[in-house]
Copies of this chain bind each other. A is one copy, B any other.
Amino acid sequence: MPYIAATPKPPYYAVIFTSINAPADHAEHTALSARLVEHAKTFPGFLGIEGSRNGDGTGVTAVYWSDRESIHAWAKDPMHQAAKVKGRELWYSHWMIRICKVEREYGRTDQKT
């Protein structure tokens, strides 16, 4: 499966989620994250996700959406909201969300073209 998200010609949106895992058991976190991505894929504006975590528990995940409205719809989703509570209370010591408008992209993707 390609790693780099198959995003359309800009503009579209990116949510940069930076986080530091708390010293905790992350088995449920890992399992729920995978289920949450599958659920996000069912949302119309979802474009893709690129996740990454260092060995020390720090990490950056970029999630791409077609527009601001899709990000709002996802923010209101009950499964997502329940996961956010667990994230804040158990899984992450620190985290930051940045909502961005992608203006330009270029590169050499691993998507089949």
**Chain A interfacial positions (CB closer than 8 Å to B):** 3-5, 7, 10, 14, 16, 18, 20, 50-55, 58-62, 88, 92-110
Contacts and interface: CB of A to CB of B under 8 A. Distances in A.
A14 B98 contact: yes
Contact of A54 (B4, B53, B93, B108): B53
A59 B111 CA distance: 16
The A contact surface, by secondary structure, is: strand
A100 B100 contact: yes
Contacts of A110: 20, 93-94
Contacts of A50: 18, 58, 60
B98 A101 contact: no
Contact of A100 (B5, B95, B96, B101): B101
A89 to B, nearest CB: 11
A58 B100 CA distance: 22
A80 to B, nearest CB: 15
